[in-house]
Amino acid sequence: MKFPETNNPIYNEFFSKSNLEAKVENTIWRGHPSKNSFCFINPKVKYKEREDVVLNKLKEVFNIKSDSFKKKFKMAISGDGQEVKRISTLHSSSLAALLLLYSVAKDKILKCTLDGKDYTFNDCYFEVKTNVKGSHFSNMDVVLIGKNLEDKDVIFFLESKFSEYFNTGMCNNISLDYKDKYEKLGLSYNNEAIPGLRFEIGKGTDNNDCMQIKSDTPHYCSGIKQMISHFIGVTNFATNGAKAMDSTQEEQPFYHELANMQKNEGTEIILGEVLFDFSDKISNGKTILNNYSTIYEALAKVLSAHTSKLYVLPKILTYQELLKDFELDKKVKDFYQL
């Protein structure tokens, strides 16, 4: 693929080597064409038309024939209202999750090993919401369902990241409403539960008091915040089932299925995070992945010590590991160089 001049290594070191042939456009950022982000459609397409335009463009670019793609696409853009805009961007984590996992089905099973245990997954859902506190919900990128070796149901809540973990820096503007939940997890001021990270009270961008996550060396602190929110939401689901789900999603095909699975004795609920591994693709890719993996592992230990309701994967999962035995669409495989 060819791109105009850009400083973004995801494009000039990774996507530029893709065998996929497709026309791309500069993404509009703050009213101007971005030099560091590109998309598959004209970004000026009107919002009301965007859903169908993006769907058809993705099917065209990746030569997708599956009847299930439209249903999965609609799930993937059903989150906070911005997904339909983001998902046409080449480096979108929502796009990666959709293209790489939409085809998991009963007739196309995903077999994988998680922390030494074998699983088979036969369906996947996108943008599943679980309650964190009050009217606040956590949007889980992907939920895989299937069986473990004991033939018990498995629900795998999976946060997906493509290249976001390259964006290191503090996480600001965390509502003080969550202060008590962080403290119960032992994540508070002067507590070194996660070496190298500090959980502090400071001033947000609106100059109001808020919680902040800071690091001594560059780390993807926003990823830690998201995983904490997911943990709270998934723990709530594991405890309360449908009561912890967003009732506005009741018409989604996953709503009642997940709620019913949660009731079944022996259902295994797993929480993890999957990243795209750029170790051999981008300068410093291995270092950046290792840095985030280190703080994720420390967080996983903290979270695991505070629950008996679910299993938190102790290590980061990569798409390369997850999909090593799974057959992808040819153009999707070419695009992600897998």
The 3-class secondary structure across the chain, one letter per residue, is: CCCCCCCCHHHHHHHHHCCCCCCCEEEEECCEEEEEEEECCCCCCCHHHHHHHHHHHHHHHCCCCCCCHHHHHHHHCCCCCCHHHHCCECCCHHHHHHHHHCCCECCECEEEEECCEEEEEEEEEEEEEEEEECCEEEEEEEEEEEEECCCCEEEEEEEEECCHHHCCECEEEECHHHHHHHHHCCCCCCCCCCCCEEEEEEECCCCCEEEEEEECCCCEHHHHHHHHHHHHHHHHHHHHHHHHECHHHCCCCHHHHHHHHHHCCCCEEEEEEEECCCCCCCCCHHHHHHHHHHHHHHHHHHHHCCCCCCEECCCCEEHHHHCCCCCCCHHHHHHHCC
Question: Among residues 189, 165, 179, 68, which one has the least CA distance to residue 126?
Answer: 68
Tokens of 163: 């290249």
pLDDT of residue 193: 87
pLDDT of residue 80: 65
pLDDT of residue 7: 86
pLDDT of residue 5: 76
Q: What is the domain partition of the chain in residue ranges?
A: 9-167+218-336
Give the residue ranges of the chain where pLDDT is below 50.
Answer: none
pLDDT of residue 225: 96
278 phi/psi in degrees, rounded to 5: -105, 20
- Residue-wise pLDDT tens digits, 299-338: 999 999 999 999 999 999 999 999 999 999 999 999 999 9
Tokens of 253: 């095909």
Q: Is the pTM of this model over 0.75?
A: yes
- Residue-wise pLDDT tens digits, 278-306: 999 999 999 999 999 999 999 999 999 99
